[in-house]
Chains A and B, each alone.
Chain A
Amino acid sequence: MLKLTKAIFIFFAFSLLSFGQLQAQHGQEEEKTHATESHSGESDAHASDAEAEEGFNAGEFVIDHVSDSYDWHITSFGDKHVSIPLPIIVYSKQPELHEGKAFHVFMSSKFHHGHSAYKGFRISESEEFKGKVVELDAAGHEIGTPIDISITKTIAGILASVVILLWLVFATAKLAKKNKGKAPTGVQNALEPIIFFIRDEVAKPAIGEHKYEKFMPFLLTLFFFILINNFMGLIPIPPFGANVTGNIGVTMVLALFTFAVTTINGNKHYWKEIYNPDVPWWLKFPIPLMPIVELSGVITKPFVLMVRLFANMMAGHLIVMVFVSLIFVFGSLFGPAVGLGASPISILFSVFILLLDVLVSFIQAYVFTLLSALYFGMATSEHH
């Protein structure tokens, strides 16, 4: 039932996209005739840019959809962009360029989708800072990036899924208190098997019967955070659909947490194995070969966690977008009719990849949690 609903959602989203594409072409034609009437010089320049590109740029389309951005783009009708503006929060070291203030908070709609500057800031179009908010000097040249802690699409997506996560877990906690010693009810039924799974199949075997309890809250939070964000990323309707777990900054923080917990809980045996492992002396002196290898292992473990989750989720999103963009590639090469004709095949493949992504979402959340648990187990084990 869930898959079916999802498939219908996706189909709906795709048909919207293809409609938008047709509209865009129509809009461009219209612009040729009424170019001088209704548009400002800037948007005219943009329109002629688009015409100069000659057709559909699949690479840009795909990368745009999986990248972070300052506003949450929903759809476009011709030159009209429908998107949710998000807050830009920047701190500049050169307040004289920005009306005398260093700290600025404003909505991304002030940029008009990157077409205009605001208070000496704009979204860069140069190669160096591509897509980022940059500071402009008096002459309008980009001079560098301010300290940028804007609520981007990714952060907004995280906040949305955190709301769902908190609701789910707190509802379960409430029910757990209510149904003490009784059979579980409602949402408790959905979460408890997963909690049992994390406890009995991940934490206990990896960490051990006596120490696993300490790590359970972290492992559970990690698993549910990744799982929910993976799923939210598959639903292509705001506030879902942000590529959260396919963002390397997000996976980096998750891996950093695992690294921090491992390091904080590392016992004497763990550190001894790193600095003074049981190997022949010439591997430790005069060149501390094994300690270097072990230390690099400490860094590599979270690094691999970060890259694995990022790459898997990113790849899933990329492939889906590539299949969708095929419709427009065909459309721009051979005309709208061929594009529409190709759409069933593209949709079929996209649906298949999305279903695969549902599986991957589970697997990646599980793998991240399992490996974290294994690292905790290594950090707390007493002997081999």
Chain B
Amino acid sequence: MGLVMPNPGTIFWMLIIFGIVLFVLKKFAWKPILTALKEREDSIATALSSAEEAKKEVAGLKADNEKVIAEARREKEAILKEAKELKDKIVAEAKDKAVEEAQKTIAQARQQIEAEKTAAISDIKKQVAELSVSIAEKVIRKELSNKAEQEKMVDGLIDDIKLN
């Protein structure tokens, strides 16, 4: 068979075989393959774009979160500060009150002591007077046992009255 002359039998069979192969593959194989490829490409494209969106969303959420956290921190600090102030105030007030109370108590105690002291002194004075009177009675009784003495005494008393 000639190498460069096409053989009619070969052309005949080749036309039939290639025609059938082309038809069958086109109808039953390439269509589903190409549609499947296209669908997958589309789904990958949408998946990628939605992932991009999700990424952006997450970034937004992160920023929001940070803002919230910062605000919370600020609030916490404010509350802590307020609490400290309140505590200091309460402590100071308590201290003042305590001092006042103590002073009041001390003053009361002092007054009581003063009153007791006065009472004691007056008591002592009374006892001293009674004691002095009884001593004087005894001394007078002894001294006025004789007549001369009594008269001398009376004279003396009269002198005193005169001097007045």
Contact = CB atoms under 8 A, between A and B. Distances in A.
B3 A248 contact: yes
A179 B14 contact: no
A130 B5 CA distance: 12
B22 interface: yes
B33 interface: yes
Contact of B36 (A63, A67, A180): A180
Interface stretch (B37-45, B56-64, B92-100, B118-126): B37-45
A267 B91 CA distance: 100
Given A169-B25, A176-B36, A159 B3 contact: no
Interface residues of A, number: 53
Contact of A218 (B15, B26, B36): B26
B21 interface: yes
A184 to B, nearest CB: 8
Contact of B10 (A220, A221, A247): A247
A220 B32 CA distance: 13
A372 to B, nearest CB: 13
Interface string A150-177: 1110110011001001100110110011
Contacts of A69: 1
A196 B9 CA distance: 35
B18 A225 contact: yes
Given A130-B1, A166-B21, A180-B39, A250 B33 contact: no
Contact of B14 (A148, A172, A182, A249): A249
Nearest to A150: B9
A196 B37 contact: yes
Given A152-B10, A154-B10, A155-B10, A221 B33 contact: no
A216 to B, nearest CB: 6
B144 interface: no
Interface in A209-227: 213, 216-218, 220-221, 225
A179 B85 CA distance: 70
A132 B21 contact: no
A221 B40 contact: no
A252 interface: yes
B164 interface: no
Nearest to A149: B9
A155 B13 CA distance: 7
A248 B4 CA distance: 6
B13 A158 contact: yes
Contacts of A132: 1
A151 B36 CA distance: 37
Contact of B3 (A67, A182, A250): A67
Given A68-B7, A148-B8, A154-B10, A166 B37 contact: no
A227 to B, nearest CB: 14
A135 B96 CA distance: 140
Given A225-B18, A257-B18, A67 B13 contact: no
Given A221-B26, A249-B14, A257-B18, A177 B32 contact: yes
Interface string A53-73: 000000000010011110000
Contacts of A299: none
Interface in B84-135: none
B154 interface: no
Interface string B137-150: 00000000000000
A154 B11 CA distance: 11
Between A165, A249, A250, A254, the greatest number of chain B beta carbons within 10 A of the residue's beta carbon is seen for A249
B4 A225 contact: no
Given A249-B7, A250-B10, 18 more contacts: A63-B3, A68-B7, A69-B1, A130-B2, A150-B9, A155-B9, A162-B17, A172-B29, A173-B29, A177-B32, A180-B40, A213-B34, A217-B22, A217-B25, A218-B26, A221-B22, A249-B14, A252-B6
12 contacts: A66-B3, A130-B2, A150-B9, A151-B13, A155-B10, A166-B24, A169-B29, A170-B28, A180-B40, A199-B34, A217-B25, A249-B8
Interface of A: 63, 66-69, 130-132, 147-152, 154-155, 158-159, 162, 165-166, 169-170, 172-173, 176-177, 179-182, 191-192, 195-196, 199, 213, 216-218, 220-221, 225, 247-250, 252-254, 256-257, 314
